[in-house]
Amino acid sequence: MSSRLHIYNTISKQTEEFQPIDPPFVGMYLCGPTVYGDPHLGHSRGAVMMDILFRYLMHLEYKVRYVRNITDVGHLLNDADEGEDKIGKIAKANKVEPMEVAQQYTNAYHQALQKMNILPPSIEPIASGHIIEQIEMIEEILANGFAYESNGSVYFDVLKYAETNDYGALSGRKLEDLIAGAGEERRALEGQEEKKNPNDFALWKKATPEHIMKWNSPWSVGFPGWHIECSAMSGKYLGKQFDIHAGGMDLLFPHHESEIAQSTACNHTNPAKYWMHNNMITINGQKMAKSLNNGVLIEELFSGNHHLLEQAYSPMTLRFFLLQAHYRSTLDFSNEALQAAEKGFQRLMNAAGKTDSLTTANSSDMDIQSWVDKLYEQVNNDLATPQVIATLFEAAKWINEIDAKKLKISHTDKDLLHTTYHTFVFSILGLVAEEAENNEALDGVMQMVLDIRKTAKENKDWTTADKIRDGLKEAGIEVMDGKEGSNYKLS
């Protein structure tokens, strides 16, 4: 491999060569979900992007520690109903324990990602399990003079911080603009009057009496602010400075900007060397939003049970679909696009099944080594998975043509093609073949039905043969005729 891994760093707005702080170790952190609802399509994108990076870094033989958190506390509600913890609100409504709600949605998140063959992270810390670490960090920030206590709550002093640091460096915001825009269309959040400045954000919030998720602290019985958990947990498991911090673009401001400020105020350093952000998805060209009634849960995509979906799409179809677009581009979901991905994925996998059994010759009609180099160049170029897939399709075509005896390949090249194709498809892109679930009873029935049809075909009784074929199709079973007899699949 001649090229080296480069990734786009949001901080520098440039694609930079990836150089770990302390090779061969790599620490990476992804802002995980807030577990107050079932995972939707948006959640799948960042998880897949980081999964590719995780897999590829391991392929490059780095020793990777991948931390992806679960947020189960601390997010204030924005609705008129006061600042109450989201998890706590749902819990009270359903008369269950907050931890039960968090667990339910954490399980749902895990299940969805597992179906998509996303590797579990090395560590998955939970915010409510790190209250002490968060309190300690807040104390340090207070001691360093970058925060103040107000009525039992603690706020980060953005103006004070900005005197010696660049608040807005990551998101391209200027503090003057933030302050200027502060007056008019700001939402009415409770506790604003406690702040010195509207841009200050909470490190610790004093809980109202009806608030059920709360902890003791030096300042009040309350709960931590939104941003501090990621800073505390990434610091605990990856160190004061680690390699990669990732998340959706929507987290750029204020979440990541504030993380940088907190960590800098506490540890005097930007926590991460590389900041990566995946772009958003749209549905039929529109943003996904509750108000537009077009939000799609990952499970709804898998079941097809949604008014915008014409059919169910498999987990691998979703994974392949996401990888066909670059992670920094917006990606539009539509039935047409998903159906295209489904077919394309099948094609890629069909070829994968043939690589090992190709007939070899004395020489090759194609240059396999430069094809291999191209794949590495592309994945090294900021994880250009769409290009990697295109290059794999190039090989899929060769594989089919070799299979049809239109091209020839040497034994050495065949081995290289086989190994590389499989490495990229399975190990790096993380795709897996989706076998239709085996059902012995159905197999038995189908065996018999196809046998009857075979007899009909032998007797040139096309009416019966076609009746069986059409009837099965109606029932969701597709008959596939081949040279060596007929087969079927569930459609």
- Applying CB under 7 A, which part among 136-144, 214-222, 369-377, 457-465 lies near RNA? 457-465
Q: Are 101 and 87 in contact (CB under 8 A)?
A: yes
Among 208, 287, 443, 490, binds RNA (CB under 7 A): 287
d(CA 103, CA 409): 53
CB-based contact 59:435 (threshold 8 Å):
no
3-state secondary structure of 247: strand
Q: Which helix (H) or strand (E) holds 265?
A: helix 257-267
188 binds RNA (CB under 7 A): no
Respond yes or no on whether the N-terminal peptide bond of residue 33 is cis (omega within 30° of 0).
Answer: no
Shortest Å, Cβ 61 to RNA: 26
* C-alpha dihedral sign at 69, 72, 75, 77: positive
> To the nearest whole angstrom, how small is the minimum distance from the Cβ of residue 360 to RNA?
19
Minimum CB distance to RNA, residue 453 (Å): 8
**Nearest distance, CB of residue 428 and RNA, angstroms:** 17
C-alpha separations of 40 from 17, 296, 482 in Å: 33, 6, 40
Q: Which stretch binds RNA (CB under 7 A): 176-184, 237-245, 262-270, 365-373?
A: 176-184
Residues 227-286 contacting RNA, CB under 7 A: 247-255, 258, 278-282, 285-286
User: Count of residues for the chain?
Assistant: 491
Interacting positions 321-340 with RNA (CB under 7 A) = 321, 324-326, 328-332, 334, 336-337, 339-340
Residue 139's nearest CA partner among 228, 208, 242 is 228
| Among 129-137, 343-351, 422-430, 443-451, the segment contacting RNA (CB under 7 A) | 343-351
Q: Which is nearer to RNA, 129 or 181 (CB)?
A: 181
What's the closest the beta carbon of residue 181 comes to RNA, in angstroms?
A: 4
User: Which residue is it, tokens 């952000």?
Assistant: 277
Beta carbon nearer to RNA, 152 or 344: 344
Cα distance between residue 382 and residue 244, in whole Å? 13
Distance CA 232, CA 263 (A): 8
Site string for RNA, 368-407 (x = CB under 7 A): -------------x--x-xx-xx--xx-xx--xx--x-x-
**Nearest to RNA of 208, 216 (CB atom):** 208
The footprint of RNA on residues 200-219 (CB under 7 A) is 200-201
418 is an interface residue for RNA by CB under 7 A: no
Which residues, including other chains, have CB under 8 Å from residue 412's CB and lie 6 or more apart?
Answer: none
Is 355 an interacting residue with respect to RNA (CB under 7 A)?
Answer: no
Footprint (CB under 7 A) of RNA, residues 117-146: none
Which one among 89, 130, 408, 469 touches RNA, defined by CB under 7 A?
Answer: 469
Reduce the DSSP state of residue 223 to 3 states and report it: strand
Binding to RNA (CB under 7 A): which residues in 50-79? 71, 75-78
Please report how close the Cβ of residue 102 comes to RNA at its closest, in angstroms.
13
Of 20-28, 59-67, 88-96, 165-173, the segment contacting RNA by CB under 7 A is 165-173
Among residues 189, 245, 202, the alpha carbon closest in space to that of 74 is found at: 202
Measured CA to CA, the distance from residue 104 to residue 63 in angstroms comes to: 32
Q: Pick the closer one to RNA by CB: 63 or 473.
A: 473
Closest CA to 296 of 314, 285, 282: 282
